[in-house]
A and B are shown apart, each in its own frame.
Chain A
């Protein structure tokens, strides 16, 4: 919701008089770090037994190497209440998988990764998500009255602070779009969230048309992960004139042997409602 307050500035007068172009810039290069993408998402209606953790290393900003997967690491997730241990097996391509994970809502889990002789660890709780009550499409509820948007409707629980992550990906698009949301202004209300795509030649996006299919993920996330992903999303959109000054973002994966060599990425546990919608 707060994003709206910023958007108005971003799109106001600057929009008319400014010009944007891609330029060459010299940037600093930091030493490479381990990146832990440990997103244990439990899709509603499934057992959640199959889980994947990805390990890779960071590269210089303008580097185009795509394969930075890390092999030979040890990856273990432990339920801190029950003591149940889930060993993720090295697939030798940077991914580590298990087929026996047991997700339990509101329980705490610990991740342990040993890589290059250093032990990385993180702790997180599995957060629930409310059901999506309705998905529909409209013209007039979005930014632009002439463009189609999809609406996701759900009831925010009143008794607690809730944090959400949306993931939208149109079938055929190369990259997903993430949006974050907290219930500060709408606690306990029915939430109606829309997703609309712009017709923008420069950004290479096209608006939704009948027949287009979009996958929608609604994640219930913890407050600490919200604080992380909120900054990550904002920074990944690029820091414009009125954006918050970008920062070195730290996740929850800490290096027990060498704290300065912390890992990028995050160990998250979420419940996710996953849907597909085809525009009519």
Chain B
């Protein structure tokens, strides 16, 4: 292949500009006329010392208050005076404390879990709703792990990813598919973070289990829109999952024994109670069962969570967390496959002053897979690695003004694929696709500003840059067209490669920079209701390549660069929020409109496997999505739960652009695979007595857009299907009902051992939901047939959970 060094001179690597807005941010801080003092501290659970994220800390009778941050920290500044401090958190007893605020002071509070030990929704939710009415935060769903644990799940294993799909605007892609879709977005547009580390694949066993072990998780927050400026890199959503710190009061064991898998978590204090640890492991044993049954094909997974922390002193705390998960498949002796995530994170919390909180993190994460094709004597490996450093600060300037700001930088190393012969006699030649490297950096500042008692605004900006680093060749194409429209045949074809430009390691192949403004406001109409609106812009620099019906673990990530531009999305949202009947019910109604530029789609006949030059398989397009979401919750009483309904549309259009021609689907808008007109779900929990409680889920959603045949013709003695326009048909509607019952035997308050039985039935009425419908010719009769693949029929399960 001729090297064409002259065609394009590599640009000199510019230092990635790191922009500090920070100094600007302090200006607004000291505009306080009255004599004010600050109360700050940490809110923890009395039983295990876990810090509480999202607890509300308020002065009674005023609108002065704050929500604790991810590390349980709060800081309130108020005029000198006497106050009643109210601390409330769902599932915990409300605490009242008289405060004489005549100087800056520290107050760490430990709160007690409500005696009933029930789900959060059963307990009076205290002051939290008041806060959510005022806070300009919208399109956000926070789920307590206890709520998640009570929902019925397939095979008894608690599943965070499946439970968020019960929320409005969040859908799955059918059973047997990894990932989830938020507001008509693709699976790769979700930023999934486990203790700040990016998780690239959220499921085990192709979507049957999530990678999150519920026993190790403290809370989950899903941002469907209005993504805070501190997050960047994905256009659709952020799923922020936080691991528990570990019990720092007592040693404890938690575990569960189920049909398919079992798990065990150990936690306890360390270093004279200055720290704690948590180690959680989970493993499936389907493979053993299958082997015992004489099955040659096996599948299994395991994962390990680790967390430890150490308080150096009042102002400094260190956290170390890690995750390792792996799936293994074996198909006879011919194929083996394994894949998984690995992540590690070291964090340092530092409290500068009672008003300034900071956290620095160093994070590593990796996703890789390994296919061993024993039969052909070669293996195929691929990975994505990233190192991430970030520094985030929060300045609690006054009761009316709070400021978040920080910087982050991610270094990516993509290894899209290597083929290695595993034996001398292999007929396969070794092959390495070009490794790709890139740096993504961001700086942000975001203000939460209370303008009046009824009006709070949040405004901020994120500036992100992305540099694709050298050290690899980039192909050059005739007429700069990696894809060319063949006018004669009316199809898109690969462009003609006319050489390549070699970029040295010190060079930058391509750089991008984007301003991402984010703003929202909340206006409280009265004590019960408020309206909120928001706008956010987000850039996404890495893309998951997938041209299959379902996202698979073998899909690879690719960075933006010469040919693939960053995705840019703009989202507008408007919402109405209301509490009824003394907060027994709450209603959230939101509408959104979202556009995304540079959303790639694949030309007909695209071939992504082992493809070094992805640009020859894709066209740049755009997408748009809009919808209306309802969420009605019943927050109190024996019967609790929520009902959600979404009416939405998600479409994309891919024009020919530089490739010429009309584009995909004749340049017309077509449904994305994530379009669901109707999405209805009901989650209910009923507490019968102290021993028994029951749960149920119901789901109904419009079938996934798919491409069906529109005719047949005879060719080479076979009947061949001709297919219609992309995604112009739909699978049948998806619906199912799950139920569960939890039985807690004798409750002896003094006994440390606590056990419970969870009985569940997934898909109670045995609905055969189509995961796929394939069309082919019956080889006996020669007639064309439509064959439905349904993954789960009715699945009963039983699980025993214990705590010691």
Contacts and interface: CB of A to CB of B under 8 A. Distances in A.
Interface of A: 1-2, 4-9, 11-25, 27-30, 32-33, 35, 37, 39, 54, 56-64, 68, 141-145, 167, 173-176, 178, 184-187, 189-192, 203-205, 227, 230-232, 235-250, 252, 254, 259, 262, 264-266
A18 B711 contact: no
Contacts, number: 270
18 contacts: A5-B380, A7-B335, A11-B335, A13-B206, A14-B176, A16-B297, A16-B299, A17-B791, A19-B793, A27-B786, A59-B712, A61-B775, A191-B427, A239-B707, A240-B549, A241-B549, A247-B605, A248-B725
B713 A56 contact: yes
Interface in B356-383: 371, 373, 375-376, 378, 380
Contacts of A239: 549, 707, 772, 774-775
Interface string B489-518: 111010000000000000000000000000
A265 B720 CA distance: 10
B205 interface: yes
B177 interface: yes
B332 interface: yes
A204 B332 CA distance: 21
A232 B378 CA distance: 27
A100 to B, nearest CB: 24
Interface in B537-566: 547-550, 552-554
Contacts of A57: 713
Contacts of B706: 245
B61 interface: no
B780 interface: yes
Nearest to B792: A17
Given A1-B376, A25-B786, A189-B429, A58 B337 contact: no
B714 A12 contact: no
B775 A4 contact: no
Contacts of A249: 604-605, 722-723
Contacts of A60: 711-712
Contacts of A178: 716
A5 B371 contact: yes
Given A238-B787, A248-B722, A264 B773 contact: no
Contact of B176 (A11, A18, A248): A18
Given A13-B206, A175-B718, A186 B427 contact: yes
B607 A186 contact: no
Binding site secondary structure of chain A: loop
B415 to A, nearest CB: 16
A2 B177 CA distance: 21
B147 interface: no
B753 interface: no
Contacts of B779: 173-175, 203-205
Given A11-B331, A17-B208, A254-B488, 14 more contacts: A13-B329, A22-B786, A22-B787, A23-B773, A27-B729, A28-B724, A35-B713, A56-B713, A58-B713, A141-B375, A236-B720, A240-B789, A244-B547, A246-B709
A61 B786 CA distance: 10
Closest 6 CB pairs of A and B: A238-B774, A238-B776, A247-B604, A30-B710, A35-B713, A58-B713
Contacts of B789: 14, 18-20, 240-241
Interface of B: 176-177, 205-206, 208, 286, 290, 295, 297, 299, 329, 331-335, 337, 371, 373, 375-376, 378, 380, 419, 427-429, 431, 488-491, 493, 547-550, 552-554, 602, 604-607, 609-610, 673, 706-718, 720-729, 768, 770-777, 779-780, 782-793
Contacts of B489: 250, 252, 254
Nearest to B793: A19
B301 to A, nearest CB: 10
B707 A247 contact: yes
Nearest to A232: B720
B721 A12 contact: no
Contacts of A58: 711-713, 722
A265 to B, nearest CB: 6
A184 B430 CA distance: 11
A170 B428 CA distance: 29
B610 A265 contact: no
Given A1-B428, A231-B605, A25 B773 contact: yes
B550 A242 contact: yes
Contact of B714 (A1, A62, A68): A68
A7 B376 CA distance: 13
Given A27-B709, A246-B723, A248-B723, A35 B714 contact: yes
B490 A259 contact: yes
Contacts of B785: 22
A54 to B, nearest CB: 8
Contact of A245 (B549, B771, B775): B549
Contact of A241 (B177, B373, B729): B177
Contacts of A242: 548-550, 552
A15 B723 contact: no
B606 A61 contact: no
B768 A9 contact: no
A238 B782 contact: no
Contacts of A235: 720-721, 723
A71 B609 CA distance: 43
A164 to B, nearest CB: 14
Contacts of A205: 779
Contacts of A59: 711-713
B604 A243 contact: no
Given A12-B299, A14-B789, A244-B548, A25 B708 contact: yes
